[in-house]
A = this chain, B = another copy of it.
Amino acid sequence: MEDRIQNQSRPAGEPALDLRGFLTTSAKTAIAVAGAGTLLAAGSAGGRWFGADANEVAFPLGGIGTGTISIGARGNLRDFEIWNEPRKGLVLPYSHFTLWAQEDARPSVTRVLEGRIAPPYAASHGIHPNHGGGLPRFAESRFRGRYPTAELELRDPEIPVEADLLAFTPLIPLDPDESGIPCAIFAWTLRNHTAGRVRATVVGSMLNPAVFSGTDEFGNLRSYPGGPARNRRRADNQARGVFFEGPVVGESELAFGNAAIAAIASEITAKPEWFRGGWYDTLREFWDDLSADGHLTELDPEQVAPQGMVGPEVVNIVPGSVGVPIILEPGESTTVTFIISWYFPNRINGWFTAAPSVPPTTRVRYSTRFANAWEVTRYVARHLPELQAATIDFRDALFESTLPPPVIDAVAGTMPVPRSNTCFWLADGRFFGWEGCFDRGGSCHGNCNHVWAYAQTLAFLFPSLEMDMLRTAFLDEVEPSGKMRFRAESHFGTTFKKRHAAADGQLGSIIRLWRTFLLTGDRGFLAELWPNARKCLDYALATWDTDGDGVLDGEQHNTYDIEFWGPNPLTGVLLLGALRAVEEMALRLDEPATAAQYRGIFERGRVRLDELLWNGEYYEQSLEDVDEHPYQHGRGCLSDQLFGQQLAHVAALGHLLPEEHVGAALDAIVRYNFLAPLGNHANLQRTYAFADESGLLLCSWPRGGRPRLPFVYSDEVWTGVEYHVAAHLIFEGRMEEGLALVAALRARHDGYRRNPWNEVECGHHYARSTASWALIPALTGFHCDVDRQTLWFEPVGNGSSVTFRTLFTCGAGWGVYAQSKHDGETRPVLVVLGGDLDGFTVRVGERAWRIVDGRLE
């Protein structure tokens, strides 16, 4: 498995993961076939390398609430999504890095700093010169993303230098502001591999993004209706480059904004405005100018080609370039760093449109720190050493851990979600999330509580933002009855058509609140949300538990976008988890009587649920006539049946149901729902995995009784569900099964089939996929109670002699925890890399240590 994951290029015809034996043998055997059992001890993942033909690779650069620019496997910049909405597929014309190089006494070469474009080449008019398809590139390239950093290696025997790129946007756990800078950093390292002296220039070019308004049907740039681009040369102590502004418009207009491309260099060559020529002369003048001598000539900004078909209506849009000339002796290498920054501070003041009563736009968070893109550039240039060091510390804490490679791959691959356009962050500090993204526009609005209930990454990385989402849920969206609107609407003053509650989302939010309190230890926060949390639970009991037996049985809207009727494990187990969470909150807030009250309901409910739904193999839905209402699961084996138990484990709430039933039900889920490969499974719904791929179905009917119209996603495979089931399997001691699920899932995201940094469900960068982070607590036994200044670790596989090392995060600090066994004794090491954990107790098994000066005493 490890070999396969580290393959550079996809071997022709090879299936994603060879688990073909599974259908005819037992689950255990199939998992052995998959090689998943060896993954735990496999050491560092190191990240997968991708060849230039991995067309689906799109590694997002960009911060929280800033939008992103992605980098493809060839090093190509793609998917410019910096205007506060998704824009999948939008490639900003003329935006790439170029190399000019000349070895002494030899002809010079000019190349785009990318690998060659891979098929298909199917456009109706060829590749437009705007996208420089016909420009020569490097013969060999490979790409590795270890989120949050990306690396590219370019090689070509005809070029006198090797070129390596490190690209990233700072990401520092617990620090959303430093992780929310609207920039992308590109550090190019050139090495002279010849025996002669090499003169070289690295040039960064970008179209002015403040005036870009698309292309016509031929691919030619469309005129920007608002007026001309204003590209100006700017310089600072550290950074020199081009500042891009559009025409002067009101500062609250959506069109308002600017950008910059700059190099950290004392000497540059620049062409702030390219030639305003007819036809394709714009590119020709740039290329010929650079090719002539490695320097760029500044042009009269009003210069227009003497004649050309493309008239003055479009010459208001031009790219700008900044280049850094260097000299390299044989064997010498030099790093040249570029910063692309952007500043589009306004977004629509609503989920879809602004309400009539409010201003049409609102400001994004980064506008409170910076006045324009050049200020961003200046800040990043000045603080680059610290920002880069902390980002790489974090990356290495994860990638140099001993977590199984597919787990590292999964956690890092889904980590972009909070920094994608799935989420946004306003100037007043409010943080919101869609479920995911359409290619253009958010996909399903309103912090949807039944989807976000699965999410873990945000809470563990940026708990202050998770706290904000919970404030929205419990303070803004709970009606006096205790009903929580499952899509937040209050902040923007809009009213959606569907204002009902989702049973799973409402109960999941309560467990989420307890998990977040454990991570942050913020008693004020807990106290503020507590009354409504309790009210939400009471509403659930009053509304959906019609017979008062502690098991929900009413009409229960849920994450399958339909209603379950009658007792069922999804909402039933979530209720048990929510009862336990509320009990713990009550205890922490010194309300022992309240705690006891809910404990009582919990104890009744857990027995009753087990009686009603346990069928000897797993928990099923109890219905007399499964077809009385459409879209039920009835006797089907639901992969989500123990979702509430998994949430409870992450929130340290213990077992909600008999442990042996929990384990057996998980075994049944793997046995019946994990198809390796999916093969001839007939999926009549949306397809996220199929054929030679392996995956976990949402439901199956091994004991018969399939409804005529089963619930509308039952045939599908969702990564968010696979992750929580995988984590849960590991929590329950079923390591190999859990890892097999993760390995299968990530093998589907191989850069050819799908983007490794984008797991899709109802949209790109789907929030549910960040259930992946639960794999870390499952594998490390990490949990915390920051209020009580305690961290726990209990790595799975602790009994073996292998060295163990992991990243950990909590609201007060983050770092690396490691341990090894010597002479039968476990020796822990802990290094705090951010935050302050001094005085905290670290518990490993029966033993405890104290943190002093960021280390274990």
Contacts and interface: CB of A to CB of B under 8 A. Distances in A.
Interface of A: 9-13, 55-56, 88, 109-111, 116-117, 119-129, 133-137, 158, 217-218, 277-281, 283-284, 287, 291, 305-309, 436-439, 441, 443, 561-562, 629-631, 679-688, 690-692, 709, 712, 715-716, 752-755, 760-764
Nearest to A121: B753
A505 to B, nearest CB: 17
A124 B307 contact: no
A135 B691 contact: no
Given A308-B630, A687-B126, A760-B126, A134 B682 contact: yes
Given A278-B630, A630-B308, A754 B121 contact: yes
Nearest to A119: B753
Given A13-B9, A305-B709, A309-B561, A686 B125 contact: yes
Contacts of A687: 121, 126-127, 129, 133-134
Contacts of A681: 134, 136
Contacts of A120: 55-56, 752-754
A124 B306 contact: no
A716 to B, nearest CB: 8
Contact of A712 (B110, B279, B561, B764): B279
29 contacts: A9-B12, A56-B119, A56-B120, A110-B682, A111-B680, A116-B692, A117-B691, A119-B752, A120-B752, A121-B688, A121-B753, A124-B443, A125-B761, A126-B686, A126-B760, A126-B761, A129-B684, A129-B685, A133-B683, A133-B687, A134-B681, A134-B685, A134-B686, A136-B682, A217-B441, A305-B630, A305-B709, A307-B629, A308-B630
Contacts of A126: 686-688, 716, 760-761
Contacts of A109: 680
B682 A287 contact: yes
Given A116-B691, A441-B217, A123 B760 contact: yes
Contact of A136 (B129, B218, B680): B680
A443 to B, nearest CB: 7
Nearest to A286: B684
Given A12-B10, A684-B134, A439 B124 contact: yes
A438 B124 contact: yes
Give me the 7 closest cross-chain CB pairs, A-B, nearest first.
A134-B683, A133-B687, A136-B680, A134-B687, A127-B687, A126-B686, A279-B712
Contact of A762 (B125, B127, B279, B764): B125
B12 A438 contact: no
A643 to B, nearest CB: 21
Given A12-B12, A217-B441, A136 B679 contact: yes
A123 B753 CA distance: 10
Given A117-B690, A134-B690, A136-B680, 9 more contacts: A56-B122, A119-B754, A124-B436, A129-B686, A133-B690, A135-B684, A137-B691, A291-B682, A307-B629
B712 A280 contact: yes
Contact of A124 (B692, B716, B760): B760
A561 B681 CA distance: 55
B630 A306 contact: yes
Contact of A134 (B217, B692, B715): B715
A64 B410 CA distance: 52
B280 A158 contact: no
A466 B684 CA distance: 49
Contacts of A686: 125-129, 133-134, 280
A122 B88 CA distance: 11
Contacts of A280: 684-686, 712
Contacts of A284: 684, 709
A22 to B, nearest CB: 16
Contacts of A760: 122-126
Given A11-B12, A12-B10, A690-B134, A122 B684 contact: no
A754 B126 CA distance: 10
Given A630-B307, A691-B117, A753-B119, A287 B561 contact: no
A137 B133 CA distance: 36
Contacts of A279: 631, 712
B629 A682 contact: no
Nearest to A753: B119
| Interface-central residue, A109, A137, A279, A760, by most chain B CB under 10 Å | A279
Nearest to A436: B124
Contacts of A438: 124-125, 217
Contacts of A764: 124
A528 to B, nearest CB: 36
Nearest to A159: B680
Contacts of A763: 124-125
A197 to B, nearest CB: 23
Contacts of A116: 691-692
A283 B308 CA distance: 54
A283 B680 contact: no
B88 A124 contact: yes
A764 B123 CA distance: 8
A303 to B, nearest CB: 13
Contact of A683 (B10, B123, B124, B135): B135
Contacts of A117: 690-691
A524 B616 CA distance: 91
Contacts of A683: 133-135
Nearest to A439: B124
A716 B279 CA distance: 14
A109 B682 CA distance: 11
Contacts of A692: 116
Nearest to A441: B217
A277 B136 contact: no
A11 B135 CA distance: 25
A684 B281 CA distance: 8
Contacts of A283: 684
Given A10-B12, A682-B134, A684-B129, A755 B281 contact: no
| Interface-central residue, A136, A685, A687, by most chain B CB under 10 Å | A687
Contacts of A55: 120
Nearest to A112: B682
A450 B709 CA distance: 60
A27 to B, nearest CB: 22
A436 B218 CA distance: 12
A811 B92 CA distance: 51
A123 B691 CA distance: 17
A154 to B, nearest CB: 14
A684 B287 contact: yes
A687 B124 CA distance: 11
Contacts of A561: 309
A382 to B, nearest CB: 38
A74 B817 CA distance: 51
Nearest to A308: B630
B755 A122 contact: yes
A227 B630 CA distance: 28
A246 B764 CA distance: 36
